[in-house]
Structure 1
Amino acid sequence: MPLTMHAVTAYVRPFIHSNVRRRLDEMAGFPGVPTRWASVHAAVRSYRNTTVAHSQSNLASPLPVALLNDDGTVRRVMGMMASHPMPRVLAVRLRDLADEVAALVEAMTQPVVERLESTLACTDAATIAGWPTPQVRHHLDEEFTASHRRTQQPQATLYWHVEHTDT
């Protein structure tokens, strides 16, 4: 279930609003989701919106659970989430749809790749070595925050865990 939920999120991401990029289906040169995949595309988007991202469908239902003592009286009450995973047949179709959309995106970006390769073909190693590299930051895991916004300069933050022993 976590893998299909991640696949759904990753697939739908280029087709929804973002503060850092344009939607794929609004980009010049993208021919659109092939017609034969339209129903799968719509089902996956709906599953993402109502189940994976927002838990609004009957596929994800919060339920109260009462644990009983041996005499039948309530010992403890707790909540649980009953979730139905994406059916395997839809997961297989999502895989095939994602492969085809990825091929469309690759074909769409090929002219850009070719222009860059042509432009940079005569660039020497010393020039390339002088280009900015991604900034890598290292922090301890207790400093983790998910609130950082992407910047123009590529960067990554790696969080590390340190075990403390008394030896």
Structure 2
Amino acid sequence: MDDLEARSPLIVTVDDSPDARLFIELSSHAADLTEAKDALGWVMRAGLDDPLAGVKRHLIGAAVVSYCRCFLHSKVRTPLGDYIDVPEGLSRTHETIRAFRNQTIAHSQSELTVTYPVGVVDAETMELQFVSAVTVASTLPDSIVNDFATLIGAVLDLLDDVLNPVRRRLEQVLRTAGPEALEAAAPRGIEKMAADFRPRSKRARYPMAHTLYWDR
């Protein structure tokens, strides 16, 4: 193996600019869509006897949250709908997923999840044993899951069409940068303990660092 083959790549960040911020926004949407795609992939591969069958509903919920997050108002990025139009043939599926998120996933309002108060009685004596609750939860049918996966794939393709020209412009910027500038642009990680975990933090549109939390 020669020196070129053994050399590890150097990861650097692009300087702040309108294109860099646009690339960050679009790539952030792509990351959310990929999360949704991966979750649905596990759902569609899970058979009846698969351990994942018991968590299909939760994986679908995660996919719905990740997908819809791209189209909701945010203080740190522009909604994806400002950059692309959902294909007309998939708009019904798009609206179904948004309604499912609003009524069932984000808020417990839909009749897809219903809780009944029940009494458990002895079958012979009919004496009451205890009172409990039974929750019946339904999720997306397989046919709609398949349509949802098709929708995510189509939206990712449209996003790539917007993202690729921005990527090429940024690549040109890096090709004209000197070695010293590239060395100075390496991303920075900040390590903190779990006791300092801050779920209410707000990221910048052009991040300068990221935080990693450790238990010990």
Same fold, judged at TM 0.5 (above): yes
> Contact (CA 8 Å) 2:113, 2:137: kept in 1 or not?
yes
Corresponding residue for residue 8 of structure 1: 64
- For 1:16, the aligned partner's letter is L
Residue 147 (str. 1) matches residue 203 (str. 2): no
Tell me the distance in 2 between the aligned counterparts of 1:65 and 1:143. 43
Q: How does 1:93-104 map to 2 (within 5 A)?
A: 93-104=147-158
Query: Percent same amino acid at aligned positions?
Result: 25
Alignment partner of 1:63 is 2:116: yes
| TM-score, scaled relative to structure 2 | 0.64
* TM-score normalised over the length of structure 1: 0.81
**Structure 1 gap segments, 5+ residues each:** 163-167
Verify the 8 A CA contact 2:197 2:213 in the aligned structure 1: no
- Unaligned ranges ≥5, structure 2: 1-56
2:142 and 2:211 map into 1 onto residues whose CA distance is 34
Check 1:67–1:145 CA distance in 2 against 1; reply closer, same or farther (3 A cut): farther
Helix, strand or coil: the match of 1:149? coil
- Deviation for aligned residue 1:159: 4.4
The number of residues matched between the two structures is 157
Structure 1 position 117 matched with structure 2 position 165? no
Measure the CA separation in 2 of the matches of 1:76 and 1:93: 43
**What's the C-alpha RMSD, in Å, of the aligned pairs?**
2.3
What's the counterpart of residue 165 of structure 1?
none
Please say if residues 55 and 61 of structure 1, whose CA atoms lie closer than 8 Å, have aligned partners that are also in contact: no
Identify, as 1 or 2, the structure richer in helix. Answer: 2
1:158 aligns with 2:207: no
Matches within 5 A, 1:34-113: 34-69=87-122, 71-113=125-167
Counterpart contact for 1:14–1:23, Cα < 8 Å = yes
Q: Answer 1 or 2: higher relative contact order, Cα 8 Å, separation at least 6.
A: 2
- The answer to whether residue 159 in structure 2 is matched with residue 138 in structure 1 is no
